[in-house]
Amino acid sequence: MPHQSLTDKDLLYLTELLFFQLSSAKKCYHFAQECSDQQVRDLLDKAGQMHQRHYKLLLQQVQFTNMPSNMMP
């Protein structure tokens, strides 16, 4: 796959997605701690883990896409 740089618009969009995923993960973890129902707590923890995974995947994509061509695997 050829190396493609992201446009400023792409980076702005990805930055917004990163913020959304991180914010959502934090909210899930916060409300899981506040919740007394164990089933709801487990669901919120699971949702928080999903948002955290998505955050990491997006971050890796941004880092990989902006890597100089001579450093590509």
- pLDDT tens, residue by residue, 9-44: 988 899 999 999 999 999 999 999 999 999 999 999
Q: Establish if 2 belongs to a structural domain.
A: no
Q: Establish if 30 belongs to a structural domain.
A: yes
| Most distant pair of Cα atoms in the chain: their distance | 52
Q: What pLDDT does residue 6 have?
A: 76
Q: Establish if 36 belongs to a structural domain.
A: yes
Q: Establish if 54 belongs to a structural domain.
A: yes
Cα→Cα distances 15→18, 27, 59, Å: 5, 18, 9
Q: Establish if 33 belongs to a structural domain.
A: yes
> How many structural domains compose the chain?
1
The residue segments making up the domain with residue 36 are: 23-66
Sign of CA dihedral 3, 66, 8, 15: positive
Other C-beta atoms lying within 10 Å of the C-beta of residue 67: 13
52, two tokens: 């955290």
Q: Establish if 27 belongs to a structural domain.
A: yes
Q: Establish if 13 belongs to a structural domain.
A: no
Residue pair 18/59 in contact (Cβ under 8 Å)? The answer is: yes
pTM listed for this prediction: 0.78
